[in-house]
A and B are shown apart, each in its own frame.
Chain A
Amino acid sequence: QSVLTQPPSVSGAPGQRVTISCTGSSSNIGAGYDVQWYLQLPGTAPKLLIYGNNNRPSGVPDRFSGSKSGTSASLAITGLQADDEADYYCQTYDRGLIAWVFGEGTKLTVL
């Protein structure tokens, strides 16, 4: 069981907006550590989507945005597209575990 809690699944219709939550604790997100988000398509390596809570690497569309507040973070995807279907993981550092940690992952289904 991960120290970062994500919903197992979310869904939305094309064009809609969805959000994925990532709940941590005072040992990780609440301690001020940045949150990252990764996208993983089946059979492929994770891809960095958001870093430093709300920064997009070059090439990531601005439909993807991140936010962080207290012990939680969120990923928002607007203008949902069919090829957004993937697993999404949040990630940060945990000072209690002295480890980099990932959320359990959220499967996004585009209806």
Chain B
Amino acid sequence: EVQLVESGGHLVQPGGSLKLSCAASGFTFSGSAIHWVRQASGKGLEWVGRIRSKANNYAPAYGVSVTGRCTVSRDDLKNTAYLQLDSLRTEDTAVYYCTRHVEENSGYFDYWGQGLLVTVSS
């Protein structure tokens, strides 16, 4: 069974940093791209970032609202992906999901984590 489980984050002060983890199981993690998507309360889904597999040079990509503040990484030995977000703003408050990306044409997100609420507040 494919599982993605996010951890980390919770309550962070503005200007601070967070590092979320996404532990994967049930599939060949090392061969998969992992994306991060977030959702503010009552709002829609917003793509945050991506890290591709080793075969694709671990290529990262970032959404416009986090570019320059965000780093995605992975540890294939631990089957875990990471999202680090710096210089946090109140508008970064959201549920953060990691999701597996199937890279066909534009690709699609077939498995999602349960989501992790991150609150940025003083």
Chain A residues whose CB sits within 8 angstroms of the CB of B44 once the complex forms: 2, 89, 102-105
Chain A residues whose CB sits within 8 angstroms of the CB of B110 once the complex forms: 48, 51, 57
> Which stretch (A13-21, A75-83, A90-98) binds chain B?
A90-98
Assess whether A46 is interfacial by the CB under 8 Å rule. Answer: yes
Distance (whole angstroms) from the CB of B13 to the closest CB of chain A: 26
Chain A residues whose CB sits within 8 angstroms of the CB of B50 once the complex forms: 100
Select which of A46, A47, A48, A52 is within 8 A of B45 by beta carbon. A46
Contact with A along B56-96 (1 / 0, CB 8 A): 00000101100000000000000000000000000000000
**Cα of A98 to Cα of B64 in the assembled complex, Å:** 9
Distance (whole angstroms) from the CB of A50 to the closest CB of chain B: 9
Assess whether A86 is interfacial by the CB under 8 Å rule. Answer: no
Select which of B45, B64, B107 is within 8 A of A102 by beta carbon. B45
Distance (whole angstroms) from the CB of B83 to the closest CB of chain A: 15
Assess whether A34 is interfacial by the CB under 8 Å rule. Answer: yes
**Cα of A89 to Cα of B50 in the assembled complex, Å:** 19
Assess whether A101 is interfacial by the CB under 8 Å rule. Answer: yes
**Cα of A89 to Cα of B47 in the assembled complex, Å:** 13
Chain A, 19-75, CB within 8 A of any chain B CB:
32-34, 36, 38, 44-48, 51-52, 57
A-B contact pairs, 18 of them (CB 8 A): A34-B104, A38-B109, A45-B97, A48-B108, A48-B110, A51-B102, A52-B104, A52-B108, A91-B45, A91-B108, A93-B107, A99-B47, A99-B61, A99-B63, A100-B107, A101-B47, A103-B44, A105-B44
List the interface of chain B (C-beta within 8 A of A): 35, 37, 44-47, 50, 61, 63-64, 97, 102, 104-110, 112-115
